[in-house]
Structure 1
């Protein structure tokens, strides 16, 4: 197998992987014991009921308009998890 064939295989493999992406929280719901959020992607896509993965012992309720980072598991946006949220409006003044 030559280098061109290897490059082709790598490109095909990576083509099925979706990278992490940014979005904005539209609304959240923690009624089921796991916080889920509806987000708006940067391309205008709406993604429903993504799980917000929170660290053990920490919890928060990001308000609408908060930024988020989504990692699509298995390359599928609908199976993504929110791994981080932030909202500059709530950043303490001394931390800016």
Structure 2
């Protein structure tokens, strides 16, 4: 038997996430970033995002640690996101 829950019943978040919200949060946390790109790929409803970050602040970190850092920063927003494609890099 399957139980179907409304989004509010399984998510602890406070509503739809916006590109601007994610972008602002990342710019605040990565002031040295040469690129922060956030794209809502869900047609504007805030369910799926492509995020790309290029910053020297990732220098010396494995890709896994870079991603963990971003996930930790966006932990509140991720509660309301169904899908996230993340690309992180150090500038060349």
Q: Same fold (TM over 0.5)?
A: no
TM-score (norm 1): 0.23
User: Comparing both chains, which one has the higher relative contact order based on Cα–Cα distances under 8 Å and sequence gaps of 6 or more?
Assistant: 2
Bigger Rg over Cα: 1
Higher share of residues assigned helix:
2
Q: Scaled by the length of structure 2, what TM-score is found?
A: 0.24
